[in-house]
Structure 1
Amino acid sequence: MSSHNIHPQKHLPDAIHYLQQVHQYIEQSTLIERSLYHLVLLRASQINQRAFCVKMHITEALADGETQTRLDRLIVWRHCSDFNVQEKAAFAWVEALTTLQVQTDYEPLRVVLLQYFSEAQISALTLLIGMINLWNRIGIAQH
């Protein structure tokens, strides 16, 4: 069986470097709480069915103090009380921006986000979601 994997970092290392810098900028900003940062990355990677990324984000979240119970229940966040309303608003945004359903009305989601986050925080959250989805897709292209 031949392999036709695509490796952007081999052919466009500067571009990958700049993407890493954007991701690091978001990670190092104080706009997104550390726990939420990890949960956002994990939820998008779950949706994108990226086993490697899911494992990595779980490991990182645990190292930063997240609980195994919350990580286990993230996939059913709508149906449990482990997450607060701010986190649930963020998870709804993650799912909307990751799945990109034609019928999704984004306005109500933004209204809810604005109840719990500043516009700067929503901007950081949006960029983080975009970045993890990009990394997931690069990973898919490679494997």
Structure 2
Amino acid sequence: MTASRLNLQRVSPKVYQAMIALHAAAAENLDPTLAGLIMIRASQLNHCAFCVDMHTHDARQAGETEQRIYLLSAWEEAGTAFTEREQAALALTESITELIGRGHVPDEVYARAAAVFSETELAQVISMATVINAWNRIGVTTRKRPPLRR
């Protein structure tokens, strides 16, 4: 396994600070539990070990259950473990994350989210999914590794 590459925070502090500001704006007025699920799921799909570790740790600290964290990778098959709003946000997050393979966000996925979120809430969900995808790409590209917790 190759070691971490560059440290974006050190090498490009203006970009790093802009990402922090963008993340804070995306999180504004977004339910923290929902934001956590969005960040974990996109990070799983993007294979960003650092972000999966960080956001699952943060979710646990915020009171998220182990069961829901474990079920997140199979949320569509998890029955009522996730609310309709959470399921709509997760479906939208997956579509945003997988744009390269799909080429678009399907109308039915967008409509499902639009049906359960206000326009402002939907903007925040889209923004959070977009921001975590950017963080994931930074983490994967620079091979940022999670700290080992034993």
Task: Give TM-score scaled by structure 2 length.
Answer: 0.85
- What is the aligned-residue identity percentage? 30
Q: Are 2:78 and 1:80 aligned?
A: yes
Structure 1 stretches of 5 or more lacking a match?
none
How far off its partner does 1:8 sit? 3.2
Distance 2:117 2:4 in 1: 43
Residue number in structure 1 paired with 2:94: 95
Distance 2:48 2:91 in 1: 19
Residue number in structure 2 paired with 1:116: 116
Task: Give TM-score scaled by structure 1 length.
Answer: 0.89
CA displacement 1:93-131 (0-9 Å, x = unmatched): 010000113365521112111110011111111111111
Q: Are 2:33 and 1:40 aligned?
A: no
CA displacement 1:45-80 (0-9 Å, x = unmatched): 000111221111111001111111000000000001
Distance 1:118 1:2 in 2: 44
Alpha-carbon spacing, 1:21–1:4, altered in 2? closer, same or farther (3 Å): closer
Aligned partner letter, 1:59: H
Residue number in structure 2 paired with 1:13: 13
Residue number in structure 2 paired with 1:56: 54
Conserved 8 A contact 2:7-2:142: yes
How many residue pairs match? The answer is: 141
Distance 2:124 2:134 in 1: 15
Residue number in structure 1 paired with 2:137: 137
Distance 2:2 2:57 in 1: 32
Distance 2:37 2:74 in 1: 13
Structure 2 stretches of 5 or more lacking a match?
144-150
How far off its partner does 1:11 sit? 3.1
Helix, strand or coil at the partner of 1:66: coil
Distance 1:105 1:3 in 2: 35
Aligned partner letter, 1:63: Q
